[in-house]
Amino acid sequence: MGSPNFVDYVKINCRSGKGGAGSAHFHRSRSNPRGGPDGGDGGRGGHIILKGNDQLWTLLHLKYTKHVKAENGQAGSESLKTGANGADVVLEVPLGTVARNAETDEFQCEITEHGQTHILVPGGRGGLGNDHFKSPTNRAPKYAQPGESGLEEWHILELKLLADVGLVGFPNAGKSTLLSVISAAKPEIADYPFTTLTPNLGMVRYRDDRSFVVADIPGIIENAHQGKGLGLRFLRHIERNALLLYMVPADSKDINKEFEILHNELKQYNPELLDKDFIIAITKSDLLDQELIYEIKKDLPDIPYVFISSVAQLGLTELKDLIWKQLNKPVQFD
């Protein structure tokens, strides 16, 4: 999923359908030339609807869909016939898609299940026919309601990847390499910053045919929460991960400081991220001897950690065991 076709943000103009007008018709027949009102109601205008599709991984199919317009409802007619509803427009989106009003920034919905639907922009209601307005004092109402106008709004759709584990680290921390080793994902790997320009997902097979999903989030840098580097473009993907795996290379000048910078970036972006569970992986640990490992352990924060090397295949089983343990530990209630 590291394709350049990965799109996780689109802005679209949505116009729902206008409701059909109610009818002001009167029944007329040879046997009843002065019949009463029998005007039917107008049909509802078409909705703009979001629908979850677990076969989609990107918003690419909506990238060039700048304007979406639903059909208008049809007018009511004689014999109390209701007009046809306008056809809805259904926009299929990947799981993890969040919709917001582009003008007010108001949160509207989050699509997390296959087949889940949400009316993003409702169609206008159809007008009532004149049959609704008859009364003992007005047996022949000559008016009916017009249809309600549709709505035209700009909406933002953002994709937040649904994954069990999110990899958090500076560029060149070894995130892509780890993902390529423990899963079938094939992210681009090279020895320069920001090799990963799009998030990658990989399914990791565990013991007894169990598995979990890992997301490789493009590298964070200091002040990423202010939009520096790849910044805000990808930080939102971390919000949907159940567990965060901090990755700090063993050859870092100051491992503890690097962890603190990463931790602070998440805090500044969204303090609620600190409620998640964390693990630290010291990568490239094949460069360390036992004495250095002992010294590093003394300065590590009080959260679960593991020393690994993706290239040398060291500590990967321990890492998967630790991830599985954290993902399945009992929920603590206050």
Q: What angle do CA 296, 302, 307 make, to 5 degrees?
A: 45
**Which tokens hold the place of 253?**
């000048």
Q: What is the mean pLDDT of residues 91-99?
A: 93
Domain boundaries, the chain: 1-159, 163-327
pLDDT of the residue at 5: 61
- The whole-angstrom separation of Cα 238 and Cα 97 is 13
Tokens 């473009």 belong to which residue? 233
1-159: CATH topology: Spo0b-associated Gtp-binding Protein; Chain: A, (2.70.210)
Percent of the chain's residues with pLDDT above 70: 88
Tell me the pairing of strands 277-283 and 305-307: parallel
Max Cα separation, the chain?
Answer: 106
Would you state the torsion angle of the CA atoms of residues 146, 152, 153, 157, taken in this order, to the nearest 10 degrees?
110
Q: Band of the pLDDT at 154, cuts 50, 70, 90? A: very high
Half-sphere exposure of 188 (CA within 13 A, CB side): 15
Torsion sign, CA atoms 160, 163, 164, 170:
negative
Q: Please tell us whether the domain made up of 163-327 is placed in CATH 3.40.50.970.
A: no
> In this predicted model, what pLDDT tens digit does every residue of 100-123 receive, in sequence order?
999 999 999 999 999 999 999 999
> In this predicted model, what pLDDT tens digit does every residue of 171-204 receive, in sequence order?
777 888 898 888 876 655 444 444 445 677 788 9
pLDDT of the residue at 332: 58
Tell me the pairing of strands 97-101 and 152-159: antiparallel
Asked if residues 86 and 48 have their Cβ atoms less than 8 Å apart, the reply is no
Tokens 């992986």 belong to which residue? 281
Q: Band of the pLDDT at 71, cuts 50, 70, 90? A: very high
> In this predicted model, what pLDDT tens digit does every residue of 24-46 receive, in sequence order?
999 988 888 888 899 999 999 99
Phi, psi (degrees; rounded to nearest 5) at 249: -70, 145
Phi, psi (degrees; rounded to nearest 5) at 96: 100, 5
The better pLDDT of the pair 270, 316 is held by 316
**Which tokens hold the place of 173?**
């921390």
3-state secondary structure the chain: CCCCCCCCEEEEEEECCCCCCCCCCECCCCCCCCCCECCCCCCCCCCEEEEECCCCCCCHHHCCCCEEECCCCCCCECCCECCCCCCCEEEEECCCEEEEECCCCCEEEEECCCCCEEEEECCCCCCCCHHHHCECCECCCCCCCCCCCCCEEEEEEEECCCEEEEEECCCCCCHHHHHHHHCCCCCCCCCCCCCCCCCEEEEEECHHHCEEEEEECCCCCCCHHHCCCCCHHHHHHHCCEEEEEEEEECCCCCHHHHHHHHHHHHHHHCHHHHHCEEEEEEECHHHCCHHHHHHHHHHCCCCCEEECECCCCECHHHHHHHHHHHHCCCCCCC
